[in-house]
A = this chain, B = another copy of it.
């Protein structure tokens, strides 16, 4: 039931926005009472926090696996880009809420999520820094700014990409890997 509540809320938050969605809307969408909601969550904000936390924890875990298991820095970047783009298929609505509704969390929760988002970005930055030193990436790159550029390409796709359109997430991931690698590698293939 907790899973159900979360899933339906994600759909409603995406359609109407967090502020415009009431707990009544959420429970109506599954046909339960408010009592059921309050059994699992103390507030709508707590539910939003749950959505944010699950999403970023999952991303961080999978990023960690990429960082540990893959050798070259170039391939680590490819892995991280593909991770985010492939998620468009299954995590699109979660991602959009994650990018849009963070300001509706309580300040202490915003801080928690911001730290985790930052950790994800700093890992990308570190790969770039190490890759520059190893000669894989161009030495004039500023790792911090380029990490933001890469995440701009991937995260922006959550604003517009339609996984049911004529480009698949696999095709999109390949194009973006190509675009990003050309933007950073020290020699053309």
Contacts and interface: CB of A to CB of B under 8 A. Distances in A.
A167 B104 CA distance: 29
A180 B167 CA distance: 22
Contacts of A178: 140
Interface residues of A, number: 34
Given A179-B183, A183-B183, A154 B157 contact: no
A176 interface: yes
10 contacts: A100-B100, A138-B182, A140-B178, A142-B167, A145-B176, A148-B161, A149-B153, A152-B153, A180-B183, A182-B183
Interface in A85-132: 100, 103-104
A116 to B, nearest CB: 15
Given A138-B182, A152-B152, 10 more contacts: A17-B104, A19-B20, A140-B178, A141-B175, A148-B160, A148-B161, A152-B155, A152-B156, A182-B182, A182-B183
* Copies of this chain, tallied across the complex: 2
Interface string A9-48: 0000000010110000000000000000000000000000
A5 interface: no
A83 interface: no
A184 interface: yes
